[in-house]
Amino acid sequence: MLIKIKPYISKLVVIIIFGITACQPSNDNSKNRPNIIIFFTDDQGYADVGCYGAEGFETPHIDRLASEGIRFTNFYVPATVCTPSRAGLLTGRYPKRYNLHEAVLFPFSEGGLSLNEYTMAELLRDNGYTTSIIGKWHLGHKEEFMPNNQGFDMFYGVPYSNDMDNYYYKEIDFQSPPLPFYRNKTLIESGPDQDYLTKRYTEEAIDQIRNRSEKPFFMYVAQNMPHTPLHASPAFIGKSEKGLYGDVIMELDWSVGEIVKTLKEQKIYDNTIFIFTSDNGPRIGSAKPLRGKKAETWDGGQRVPAIVAWPGKIPKGVVSSDFTTTLDLYPTLAKISGSKIPNDLKLDGLDISDYLLHPETTKLPERPFYFYARNGEMEAVRMGKWKLHIEKSRGWNLEESGVFPVSLYNLDADIGEKNNVVDQFPEVVEELTNTMKEFEAEL
């Protein structure tokens, strides 16, 4: 039956259709817009990956990922511990901008990531992506701050660190509950067997990939391991020469391999950006040859392994020493995905999409990077090869070594931050000191 539409109704339909399409991204073509996976480990050190010099265990799947993309050797996170580092990743902004830069959130904390922040998940969802987080959130366990209210369509995992499971905080007489395990806003388990966390997250990622919609997807796989207490499934116990820690890393490597294998089986690997990195330095792993570890603003606390692969787009087997950070991922993925960043949103990261696609011919600019300690104070700044430290709350023994001296290091020549050249370059010290003061004044 032929249905006639009156002229004024026809015009109305055209206006409505035009209005709807005008709100869509200009290149909203699911066949061309890449899927995005960020595989984020917890407390994995700079040297806790085979291609970064790991000892006592192997990571063949992560190493293969590096051979298929870019491996970064000067990649940093904006904090020394979990909560602020994850906040920086998802906002592209220093956590101090929204008062989430000090320490971490606990099961007794009332706050979380400000709902005024426009997260990477919100950005991508608003521009045609499905979004999911699998694993550890740690940006606020109260319902208002949970993932489903921060841009994620799906959440499968836990709200904070695995060591907070049923933990008693004697200083404030607070007993935390068994570790909550959620699917979206529904509590599905309390105190899960942590031996199987990595395996469960991997299986969930695979299931989501296989049952995806026609839209491109953003998947944030935030593993709990190798944060202590360490846990690995029975299939990986005894696998490494380095005991349980090596077993845990080998299971994480297996997880990367299983996800990549699924992408290939689904014939979408070539159109998926896969990013592997860690939230901060190691507590018990290795950051060699860097100085320091988790919770310290020495490079060992904030320089982490990082690999970005996108077959057919990013050149294979590149090792990059250019300075980059997790803050850069927000503007970079926005550009690559065709997502529009609000004009009034001030980001601290840099769009490095041109560099990823053409690393041999693109040069990234020098820019300052600020190191905030666990106590919330700025302790250091890096600009180019220079890193200036002005104080230390951790990683410096006040009783044995005395007051921490202002220290300057040439990281190109002294990656271990051992040779203080502060007296040789007073002009560099003055310039970097002023840079720190100006940034603090801005904030």
Active-site hit among 82, 227, 231, 389: 82
Is 82 noted as a catalytic residue in this protein? Answer: yes
Structure tokens at 289: 């040859």
In 15-110, the DSSP E strands lie at: 35-41, 70-72, 75-76
Dump the DSSP string for 406-443.
PEEEETTT-TT-----TTT-HHHHHHHHHHHHHHHHH-
Q: How far apart are CA 390 and CA 394, in angstroms?
A: 13
**Cα–Cα nearest to 351, from 360, 342, 364:** 364
What's the Cα-to-Cα distance from 324 to each of 117, 210, 252, rounded to whole Å?
A: 22, 32, 24
Active-site hit among 23, 61, 101, 138: 138
Dump the DSSP string for 341-403.
PPTT---SS---HHHHH-TTT--PPP--EEEE-TTS-EEEEEETTEEEE---SSSS-HHHH-S
Is 389 noted as a catalytic residue in this protein? Answer: no
Q: How far apart are CA 12 and CA 287, in angstroms?
A: 63
Cα-Cα end-to-end distance for the chain: 66
* Residues annotated catalytic, as ranges: 82, 138
